[in-house]
Amino acid sequence: MKSYYQHLKSTKEFGEKENLLKKPILRSSAIFPVIKNSFYTSSIHFLGYWLLKRNISQVKLTITLRNAHGDLLLKKIETIDSAKSFVINLDTLLLETNCNQDVNFIGSLETEFYTLEDMVFPYPALVLEYHNEKFNTCVHTLGRIYNDDEDMNENNENLVPETGFDIHETSDLHSFLSFVNGSLENEDGYIEYVITNSNSKQFSGNFHLGKINSFETKFLYLKDYIPELSTLLNSNSGSISIKHNFEGFYPRLLVGNSQESFPSVSFTHSYYDNTNSINDSDYWNRINDSHFDSSIYVPIFQKNNQFTNLIIYPNFSPADLILKIDIYDESGKKVYDNPNFLTIDSSDRKLLKINLNEIVLGLDSFKNKNFAAHVIANFKNNKIPTRIKFGLDVGTSGLNSKLPCNICFNMRLGNPLLENKPGSFHWAPLFNHRNTVFTLGNFSTLKNYNSDANLELNFYRLEDSTSFNKKIRLKANSEKRITLNDFELNEFIKSEGWVTIKSDSPYIHGYYFNMNSSGSVAGDHLF
C-alpha cells in the first residue's frame, strides 16, 4: 500500500510541489478476470480521455488475452487517436482466436497504454462489465502488473489485507473473489481471513490455493474454502478481510456475489484493510477548523421500491469519530440535520449498515423528490485516518435480481489545499437501454460552503467522434440527476457512450447507475 501522502505527492492532486525526481508514467495498464458462459459475457469500456485531459494526441494500446492457466491466446495493437467511446468485447476476441464459442471461458484481458508523454497515473480509467440483456455490473480498473521494481516497491511499502465489500452466502447467493496473477509463479497461494457478520461477530481462518502459474486467473467461491460460511453469515450480508501472499502485481481484487435463480453477478473491488495501520503517515492532521475532518456526498434512491444503504466496514485506522448526516433536497435546501447521528468507537470494530431510506421516510413529500446525503465524519483528538472507506448499496426490491450494486469509495479529507484548484474534471460511461442515470453533487468539506458551480457536460459515443455539450449550474449542497431521456441523449448515444464533466469548482463529485428493469443495479463513482 502506498501512503496517502505519497499518493498526493505523485499525482499533485491538490497542487502539491512537483517532485523533480519522479519518473514520467509512459505505461498505464490494467488486467481483468473475464468470463463468457451460457448466461453472460464480459467487456471493457473506456473513453479516449487522454486527448481531453492530458492533450496527448495519440496512445498505443496493446490488448492481451490469456486463458485461465495463463497461456497467451491473442495479442493485438491498436491506436487511440480520437476522443470517443471505445469497447473491447471478449466475444469478439474469442472469435479471433477460433475458440469454441459453446465452451465456458475464464481467463484474463490485459490492456497496456503507451505514450511518449507523462500520463501521471500508472492505471488507466477503464470499466469492466459483465452483462447480458437483463443485467449488467460494472467496476473501474482494479489489478495491474507493475511497471518496474520502483513501482512495485512503492506500492508494497506497507502490506495490508484487502477488504471493504459485501459478502452473501445462501442457497441462492454466493460470494466470490477473483484476481489475475502476475509474471511470478506462486508456489502455494495462501489466504488468511477474518469474517465479520451482520452482528459484528468475527470469525477467522485460512486456506491454501496451491501453485498459481504466471498470469493464471483465479475465480474462487468462498463457500468452497469456508464451508461454514452460510452458518456464520446467517442469511445476512457480512464482510471479509483477506490477507494473502500474492506478489508481482497490484492485488486489488474483483469481489462480489452471484445469484443462481436469476443468473447474474454484482461486483466491486476490494480495498485496503487499515485496521492495523497506525503509523503517522496513516493519519491526517487537521490543518484548520474551516473544514470538516472528512465528508462525502451520496445520492438517495427511494422511488419505485429502490433502496439505498450506506455500509461502514471495520477497515480504517483506529480512531474515534462522530458521524453527522445532513440531507438536502434537489434545490439545495437542508431538510434533515443530525450532528450526532452515530458514534463509532475504534475498539468496537463493528460492521454497520445505515438505511438512508428510513431517514427520508419521515420527510415531507418524500415520494415526489430526490434527496442527497452529506455524510460528515468528525474525529476526536485530531486523529483522522487518511483512508476512510465506505460502501454504497443501491438496489430495487421485489424484482428478479436480489443483488444491489456495492460501490467502493473513500470519504474526502478536509484539505484546504483543494481550495487552490481552479476546478475539476470527471467522466463516466453511459449505457443505452439500461435506464442509466448519473448524479452530480456540489458538496464540500468546507463547513460554511455556499458557492454555486458551473458545469460543462460533453457527451461522446461509440460510433464516431461526434460530440455535443450542455451547460448547467449547481447550487451549493444540491444534486442534479441526468438520464438518457435528458438532452435527447437516447437518440445521440445509440448503444453506449461517455460524459465528461468540467467544472469551475473543485468539489464536484458523482456516481453513475444502470437501473435494469430486472432489478439489477450496476453502479460506480465517477472517474
Residue with cell 435494469: 516
Low-confidence ranges of the chain (pLDDT < 50): none
- Return the pLDDT at 11: 58
- Return the pLDDT at 285: 86
- Return the pLDDT at 364: 72
- Return the pLDDT at 362: 82
Of 262, 175, 249, which Cα lies nearest the Cα of 219?
175
- Cell numbers describing residue 223: 463457500
Cα 37 vs. chain centroid, distance in angstroms?
Answer: 25
Of 310, 292, 290, which Cα lies nearest the Cα of 300?
310
- Cell numbers describing residue 256: 462480489
- Return the pLDDT at 287: 83
- Return the pLDDT at 8: 61
In CATH, the number for domain 22-155 is 2.60.290
DSSP 169: B
Strand 202-212 versus strand 162-163 pairing type: unpaired
- Return the pLDDT at 348: 84
Q: What count of other Cβ atoms lies within 10 Å of the Cβ of residue 211? A: 11
Classify residue 6 as exposed, middle or buried by CB count within 10 Å of its CB (0-12, 13-18, 19+): middle
**How many CA atoms, within 13 angstroms, populate the side-chain half-sphere of residue 349?**
17
Which secondary-structure segment (H or E) carries 361? helix 356-361
Q: What is the DSSP string of 378-416?
A: EEGGG-EES--EEEEEEEETTSS----EEEEEEPEE--G
- Return the pLDDT at 355: 97
In CATH, the number for domain 162-272 is 2.60.290
Q: What are phi and psi of 140, to 5 degrees?
A: -80, 180
- Return the pLDDT at 99: 75
- CA-CA distance, 361 to 300, in Å (whole number)? 11
What is the tens place of the pLDDT at every residue in 43-83? 999 999 999 999 999 999 999 999 999 999 999 999 999 99
Sheet holding 264-269, edge to edge: 217-221, 173-180, 254-259, 264-269
For domain 286-525, the CATH architecture is Sandwich (2.60)
Q: What count of other Cβ atoms lies within 10 Å of the Cβ of residue 290? A: 13
Which residues make up the CATH 2.60.290.11 domain(s) of the chain? 286-525
Amino acid (one-letter) located at 266: S
- Cell numbers describing residue 314: 471495520
- CA-CA distance, 67 to 176, in Å (whole number)? 19
- CA-CA distance, 229 to 240, in Å (whole number)? 11
Of 391, 414, 413, 415, which Cα lies nearest the Cα of 404?
391
